[in-house]
Structure 1
Amino acid sequence: MKKSILILMTVLVGLASSAFAMDADEILEKVDRNLNPTSYESYRKLINIEPDGNKREYTLYTIKKGEDKVASVFLEPSSDKGRATLRLGENMWLHIPSVGKPLRITSLQSVTGGIFNNADIMRLDFSTEYKAEQMEELSDAFVLKLKAKTDEVAYDRLEMTVDKKHLVPTEVKCIAASGMLIKTLHFKKIMEFEGGRVRPAVMETVSPLNPGYKSVMIFAKVRSRDFDDEVFTLNYMPRIESLRK
């Protein structure tokens, strides 16, 4: 009898865990769709701020298709105009107009030199790279503890605080496999974008590894748009800017 009760309890716990995981992952997928359409174009400004107040600013035009294709081109400053990046899954390249062949780059490098690394700048959907392991419900937020699906992801774990009303992140802690906090992303200024999409317009990051430094990403436009697969190829990288309307 005791053995039967134990088996039943184990089954119930397993069912509860499965239901919980589905709910948490569902929230994560809704976060992704509230942040961006599945395929879209956007304009962003990246600002790197040093401890002495000096700033370096970049303007990028970015396109994304599906779960694993992201490309960007630098519009400003003039010294970087025409540089382009391409991400296909975990593979990343940088095109420099004066260099004939695209260069392979890694997720932990940074094409802008600030606290945002290439994985942040060319981010895929959170649900593409992470699965939910735990969820805590607060009065006004959900706290999701996420684990990378593969070892190739930039951060082993994320701890994401999600605004209950809009289902968008307000804070994401990026954590290494050792448990060390690498950086914290703060999502701010929730506003309405084209098509009625309500999402943060600003993302700031600070890192205990770089005290006094801060990087800011400002979104000016995020709108749905479909693209052919052809534009997400190495040969097309010099022509990404031609897609702007």
Structure 2
Amino acid sequence: ASMQSVVGGVFNNSDIMRLDFSAEYKVTGQKESSREYTLTLKAKNDSVAYDKLIMTVDKKSVTPKKVVCYASTGMLIKTLTYKDIKKFAPGIIRPAVVETISPFYKGYKSIMVYGKITPKSFANEVFTLDNISKVGTLRR
């Protein structure tokens, strides 16, 4: 996932996309409490934005509550906090609020609030360079 910033905030593409963490990371540690799991994840390769993640997952909804992101040097890059878990549509249970803080932006917090998520299906061809000029029509 790209490190490219989204809309000038602390978020980048990997923070807001729905990622398959099992494809990108391997579990190197796991703890369990009565309400949550804490997973330590290590990147399988260097194509992802973060080398190591410490992810707290809500047991009931099986959704992330918090993700602490580190560089390969061990330096803290950012912390994402997921709040207000909602059912947006059948099969779509996600946090309605995502907050991120970073030591690189002291005193700042970026917040994304989702009011509505509408599932849509697209053919694979939509995501090719030939169709990039038509991307605006996908949102309709």
Offset at residue 139 of structure 1 (A) = 1.7
Q: In structure 1, what is the equivalent of residue 42 of structure 2?
A: 147
Q: In structure 2, what is the equivalent of residue 236 of structure 1?
A: 131
Offset at residue 210 of structure 1 (A) = 1.0
Higher gyration radius (CA)? 1
1:124-178, Cα deviation, whole Å (9 max, x unpaired): 3222211111110012100010011111211000000001111111000001111
Say whether residues 1:171 and 2:56 are aligned partners: no
CA distance in 1, matches of 2:44, 2:118: 28
Residues paired across the two proteins, number:
140
CA distance in 2, matches of 1:202, 1:194: 16
CA distance in 2, matches of 1:176, 1:196: 33
What SS class does the counterpart of residue 82 from structure 2 fall into?
strand
CA distance in 1, matches of 2:48, 2:91: 31
Counterpart contact for 1:184–1:206, Cα < 8 Å: yes
Say whether residues 1:162 and 2:93 are aligned partners: no
1:83-102, Cα deviation, whole Å (9 max, x unpaired): xxxxxxx5xxxxxxxxxxxx
Offset at residue 215 of structure 1 (A) = 1.0
User: Percent of pairs identical after alignment?
Assistant: 54
In structure 2, list runs of 5 or more residues that go unmatched: none
CA distance in 1, matches of 2:138, 2:90: 20
Q: In structure 2, what is the equivalent of residue 205 of structure 1?
A: 100
CA distance change for structure 1 residues 121 and 139 in 2, over 3 Å: closer, same or farther?
Answer: closer
CA distance in 1, matches of 2:112, 2:23: 21
Counterpart contact for 1:204–1:215, Cα < 8 Å: yes
What SS class does the counterpart of residue 115 from structure 2 fall into?
strand
What SS class does the counterpart of residue 242 from structure 1 fall into?
helix
Could you state the TM-score of these two structures normalised by the residue count of structure 1?
0.53
Counterpart contact for 1:110–1:118, Cα < 8 Å: yes
Q: In structure 2, what is the equivalent of residue 138 of structure 1?
A: 33
Letter in 1 for 2:69: C
In structure 1, list runs of 5 or more residues that go unmatched: 1-89, 91-106
> Greater relative contact order: 1 or 2 (C-alpha under 8 angstroms, separation 6 or more)?
1
CA distance change for structure 1 residues 241 and 197 in 2, over 3 Å: closer, same or farther?
Answer: same
CA distance change for structure 1 residues 234 and 226 in 2, over 3 Å: closer, same or farther?
Answer: same
Offset at residue 121 of structure 1 (A) = 4.0
RMSD over aligned CA atoms reads 1.8
Counterpart contact for 1:195–1:223, Cα < 8 Å: no
Q: In structure 1, what is the equivalent of residue 81 of structure 2?
A: 186
What SS class does the counterpart of residue 74 from structure 2 fall into?
coil
Say whether residues 1:113 and 2:12 are aligned partners: no
Structure with greater proportional helix content: 1
CA distance in 2, matches of 1:149, 1:232: 25
